[in-house]
Amino acid sequence: MRGKKRILVEKALEGGNGILNLKPAWVARDFLPPGRRLGLKEEEYDAGERGWISERWLASTTKADNAVGPEDEGLSYLALEGNEKITLKEAIEVAGDLLMGREYAKTHKGLGRLAKIYDYDARIPYHIHQMEKDAALVGRNSKDEAYYFPENVNTGPHPETFFGVHPYIADQKKYEILLPYLEDWDSDLILKHSRAYLNVRGEGFFLPSGVLHGPGTALTIELQENSDVFAMLQALNAGKIISKELLFKDVRREDREKYGEKVILNQIDWKANGDPYFYENYHLEPKLIKETKQEGGKEYWIYYNTRKFSGKKLVVKPKCTFTSVDNGVYNILVWSGKGRYDGYEIEAGNFECDELLISYEKATKPLIVENTGKDDLLIIKFFGPDININIPIIKQYKG
């Protein structure tokens, strides 16, 4: 079976000249209403007992950790002719050397990142993603993440994100000020101990694991470590009490029994949460990549400040071309416009040709991106760990 799957990947790479076309991976969530900005038909957002389709995962090798749902939820599939089916996760397992490059595959088990679009009509509950030390206890990865709020999209009713806690809580070690909200589990008043920042289109944030946050309703394109760990700390959200099991979702049973709600307080990075210059130290603005600037287009870093993942925004002018060369395997999302990617027809909003994986051999040699439309062609590039070494790092501001 492994040999057959590798042959499928080889044929797909040969037919696509080193590029793989991917099918959309839709993910349902049941704790929030959808924003309905993913381009689906109205009736397609309803996922029954699973909730609503609220996210699209991109070139994903990560299974969504939902209590109810299909076994392959969150996993991307290669778009193949006929009845053949293979997930990108399986393709990486059997042909990682072909997709990621032989040397990179020797030191990396997989793509090592997860890109997604999430789309909610209410603010996501205040929560954390466990740091490596705590995620490892339940056999999972940590989840550093970064956000990009795309331009020209309705930002929803609450386009502001709560981050961290008021600095005095961390400075004075008053950590248990949050405990009553976790024990009572009946309100959203835990948010009064946090600060909110506006979701500005065209900008974003970098967020380390262990930092409390309640993302706003701006449509968000996110890049993160390949993990789905979290602990929800806000009980009341969008008019209903969510399940308290989401507080303990990634906590060992013995730790829950021994420490109760306090176990979550021990998983919070209090220093980062109490940073009085949180905005200055974690806010992301697009940074022009001068080295790749061309007459036909420009690239910008939009995901940076870490070597765990990185990402670019490529803008190609109408009727122009851009020569792209990168350091390793990556995937793209065509966000607006239409054109050709090394001859491959691409179009934003067309689920048959808006998501591609560019293999190492293709990515590291010059390829032509052509804008065949009347408007700018905007493409997001997503990279995994250690591919882009010389990326911007925010100089920590201490006042």
Instruction: Give 268-289 pLDDT, tens digit per residue.
Output: 999 999 999 999 999 999 999 9
The structural domains of the chain, with segments of one domain joined by +, span 122-283, 287-383
Helices (H), the chain: 2-15, 88-100, 102-107, 132-135, 167-171, 179-184, 253-259, 262-265, 270-273, 278-282, 360-363
> Is 61:112 a contact under the CB 8 Å cutoff?
no
SS3 of 58, please?
A: strand
Q: What is the pLDDT of residue 196?
A: 98
Q: What is the pLDDT of residue 194?
A: 98
Q: What is the CATH number of domain 287-383?
A: 2.60.120.10
Which of 346, 319, 343, 338 has the alpha carbon at shortest distance from 377? 338
Model's pTM, two decimal places? 0.96
d(CA 28, CA 218): 18
The number of helix segments (H) and strand segments (E) in the chain equals 11, 25
Q: What is the pLDDT of residue 67?
A: 84
Q: Is 137 exposed, middle or buried (0-12, 13-18, 19+ CB in 10 A)?
A: middle
Q: What is the pLDDT of residue 1?
A: 66
Beta-bridge mates of residue 70: none
Amino acid residing at 217: T
**Residues of the chain falling short of pLDDT 50:** none
In the sheet with 310-316, reading across from the earlier edge strand, the strands are 19-21, 355-358, 330-336, 377-383, 310-316, 297-303, 287-288
- HSE at residue 4, side-chain half, CA atoms within 13 A, is 4
